[in-house]
Structure 1
Amino acid sequence: MTDTLHPAAPLSDRVAGQSWDTLADSLDAYGSALTGPLLTPAECHALTTLFDEPGLFRTTVDMARHRFGSGTYRYFTHDLPGQVSEPREAFYPRLLPLARAWAGRLGKPAPWPDGLAEWVAMCHEAGQGKSAQILLRYGPGDWNALHRDIFGDLLFPLQVVVGLDAPGVDYTGGEFLMTEQRPRAQSRGSSTTLPQGHGLVFTTRDRPVRGVRGWSAGPMRHGVSTVRSAQRHTLGLVFHDAA
């Protein structure tokens, strides 16, 4: 996919137009993969302004209060704006084959149906009825502790974060961090600068790692390094709901 976006193109087409074989290879190797552009700067700005519309959200979390880091995030209600629901619905079928492949390698169940709506209904039936779609805002000195987004027994193994501001222009610092716990060895870390309008697909919990005795789960966590200046906004797309 080129770096030129056509704003009139449906978000589903932009997601479909990504280099999915390359993304899958990166997810297999590292547990994360950076997409090409998904949103224009104007579309990113429109999403950041939603943060100041409290009626769109079911709850607001002060990260420092809960010792999650520092910053603020808000969970959307189930009445999602189109610019949130459309890319989520478009990503699910593209990520589903990899989710099933990972489950097969690890010898785990793959409960995910072909349709996102059916999967969300399964979450609700299991007592996970809260929207997990999230809009985050970080200011100077804010950061996000390493964690995993597991909200109940049912989870989808991949999720997406979309950068809504331009690094080095709108803010400094704030790299996306991942660590991988390796068996009988020190953890391995990585950092990704998230370009405006691009997405990062990454593992919710772990990735399959091939060893001499076959496949095992490599636990992974993600977070955000300290923002040094101005504000950083991101959109988080999660494919399971919360208890």
Structure 2
Amino acid sequence: MDNIIERLETVDWQLVCSQLNDKGYSQIKGLVTPHDCDVLRNQYGDQQLFRKTITMERYRFGKGEYRYYNYPLPELIHLIRENVYEKLAPAANSWMNVLHIDRQYPASLSDLQSLCRAHNQHEPTVLILNYKQGGFNTLHQDLYGDIFFPFQLVLFLNEPGTDYEGGEFVLTEQVPRAQSKAIVLRPGKGDALIFTTNFRPVKGNHGFYRANMKHGVSEVLNGNRYSLGIIFHDAVT
């Protein structure tokens, strides 16, 4: 496993947080190596690593399949989750402050997990998603309970244009008194995308307001698309 801690330390986190404030998302190029992408993608076949498999059509979430990891998470995933959380917690608290939301997030992931457990949220929410030809994911938000962290991360585990066509990552932002804005992204293998779980603060004429955002995946036209979602809060048992 490549030294992910060193890679994370080279990221311009001030820029990431600025982009999250301005757009609700930030892309980090080449956060994980192609080899680590292959290792993570190949884990999809190891049933012992996962607590649950979801067939998306059954719940009308789209078309495809995803699997939730068990605790303990694989080391690479744990290190990314733990260290990225610590980088983002100050920005999360800034969002709560400007929106006058009575919530402050602890500095460490372990303390966030303690807060989740106090609200009966015990289950890990990290998952691998697999879309074959025709697969897609409807627009949604990953909340899982009363306690949710306002940012999440997706790692893209194979290469668009080579391993699959279509399957773009889609964000929508609700614009007050107007139609929703769509954002279409096509990150490459090894890239990470950090984005809002629920909303972002936008400065208006009378202070900040919440702009609600959702995310999904457009239809995969051919090939097989894999991604890994890292959600920082845990789920209700």
Q: Indicate the TM-score class for this superposition, using the shorter chain for normalisation.
A: over 0.9
| Runs of 4 or more above 4 Å deviation | none
2:96 — aligned with what? 103
1:125 — aligned with what? 118
Cα deviation digits, residues 181-201 of structure 1 (max 9, x gap): 111111001011011101000
The answer to whether the aligner puts 1:226 opposite 2:216 as a matched pair is no
1:179 counterpart SS class: strand
5+ long unaligned stretches in structure 2: none
The answer to whether the aligner puts 1:210 opposite 2:203 as a matched pair is yes
Q: How far off is 1:97 after superposition? A: 1.2
How many equivalent pairs are there?
A: 236
Cα deviation digits, residues 114-138 of structure 1 (max 9, x gap): 1111110110121111110111111
Q: How far off is 1:220 after superposition? A: 0.3
Q: Matches of 1:109 and 1:49 in 2, distance apart?
A: 42
2:178 — aligned with what? 185
Q: How far off is 1:36 after superposition? A: 2.0
1:145 to 118, 138, 145: 138
1:129 counterpart SS class: strand
Q: How far off is 1:153 after superposition? A: 0.5
5+ long unaligned stretches in structure 1: 1-6
What aligned pairs does 1:41-56 form with structure 2 within 5 A after superposition?
41-56=34-49
User: Between the two proteins, what is the percent identity of the paired residues?
Assistant: 38
What aligned pairs does 1:1-243 form with structure 2 within 5 A after superposition?
8=2, 10-243=3-236
Is contact 2:164–2:220 with CA below 8 Å preserved after alignment? yes
Q: How far off is 1:61 after superposition? A: 0.2
2:188 counterpart SS class: coil
> TM-score when scaled to structure 1?
0.95
Is contact 1:56–1:76 with CA below 8 Å preserved after alignment? yes
Q: How far off is 1:226 after superposition? A: 0.5
Q: Matches of 2:189 and 2:96 in 1, distance apart?
A: 32
Q: Matches of 2:199 and 2:140 in 1, distance apart?
A: 12
RMSD across aligned positions (CA): 1.0
Q: How far off is 1:11 after superposition? A: 1.0
Is contact 2:158–2:226 with CA below 8 Å preserved after alignment? yes
Which letter does structure 2 place at the counterpart of 1:226? Answer: E
Q: Matches of 1:163 and 1:19 in 2, distance apart?
A: 20
Q: Which moved more, 1:144-153 or 1:77-86?
A: 77-86
Which letter does structure 2 place at the counterpart of 1:120? Answer: Q
Is contact 1:11–1:90 with CA below 8 Å preserved after alignment? no
1:78 counterpart SS class: coil
> TM-score when scaled to structure 2?
0.97
2:59 counterpart SS class: coil
Cα deviation digits, residues 81-125 of structure 1 (max 9, x gap): 112111111101111111011111101123311111111011012
Q: How far off is 1:28 after superposition? A: 1.1
Is contact 2:96–2:104 with CA below 8 Å preserved after alignment? no
1:191 counterpart SS class: strand
1:75 counterpart SS class: strand
Q: Matches of 1:90 and 1:229 in 2, distance apart?
A: 35
